Homo-oligomer: A and B are copies of this chain.
Amino acid sequence: MEIDPNSDRPVFKQIADHFRDLIDRGELAPGAALPSEAQLSRTFGVAGGTARRALEVLRSEGLVVTEHGRGTRVRERGPMLRLASQRLTRANRAAGLGGFAADMRSLGLDYKQEMLHLGEVPAPRRIAERLNIEEGSPVFVRRRRMWGGGEPMQLADSYYPLDLIEGTPITEENAGPGGSYARLEERGHRLASFREELQARMPSEDEKKALRLLPGVPVVALVRTAIDTGGRAVEVFDSVMSADKHLFQYDFAAD
């Protein structure tokens, strides 16, 4: 293994390249330890700060994780949740579980939801646009954090026009069997279609904490609008999830 201090490529990047290579080629398996900063600095003959920067590069790429006092190891990837558009078809919804619960069940992970907020709030722009109402007018929100397999999986806010949920268990902690979509349909709002909009970005500090994200892991923001047969938007589902735990799949016709 050669480091050329006179190369065009900075030393810290050369060191990062070296370990990226080992990881890509599988010679450093997930869970395997990388040399400590001090060891790196000795074996490559560079200053501590330079060794540290090399590891920093790999961290920011999400290839390794480092724990204070314990060292740096190749990142282990958990299972990926495949979110297919078919999960929201009526047949699947009829199975009795809300969307997320069913997803987790299919992976064999235990499921939990933690209610963060339940009540009326002024509609943010993004939500108001999709519900076809004035920005700032009151809407009902169910704001929660979904857990699967003991880890936080997504932050999910569901927004409803007030007139649709009055007197339903949607305003309660437990929206009842089949989730809130079932309640809306019981109330005569048969769901006709969904629109999902996805965007990937880096997480905010808060999101990082709430989702226990490792450095270098982006998030996917998914906004789903549920439309009833009358063409009315009856729910906007606004969520943020860890990109390394979710894969999205959509099937659609070619004509």
Contact = CB atoms under 8 A, between A and B. Distances in A.
B254 A89 contact: yes
Nearest to A225: B251
A197 B251 CA distance: 9
A200 B220 contact: yes
Interface in A194-219: 194-202, 204-205, 216-219
Contacts of A216: 202
Interface residues of A, number: 42
Interface hub of A88, A218, A247 (most chain B Cβ within 10 A): A218
A237 to B, nearest CB: 13
A251 B193 contact: yes
A248 B201 contact: no
B61 A202 contact: yes
Contacts of A250: 85, 195-196, 198, 250, 252
Interface hub of A219, A247, A248, A252 (most chain B Cβ within 10 A): A252
Interface hub of A193, A198, A249 (most chain B Cβ within 10 A): A198
22 contacts: A17-B205, A60-B202, A61-B202, A62-B201, A85-B250, A85-B252, A88-B252, A89-B254, A89-B255, A90-B254, A191-B254, A191-B255, A193-B253, A193-B254, A194-B252, A194-B253, A194-B254, A195-B250, A197-B248, A198-B250, A200-B218, A202-B218
Given A17-B205, A199-B247, 20 more contacts: A60-B202, A62-B201, A85-B252, A89-B255, A91-B255, A193-B253, A195-B249, A196-B249, A197-B247, A197-B248, A197-B249, A198-B198, A198-B248, A198-B249, A199-B243, A200-B200, A202-B216, A202-B218, A226-B254, A250-B252
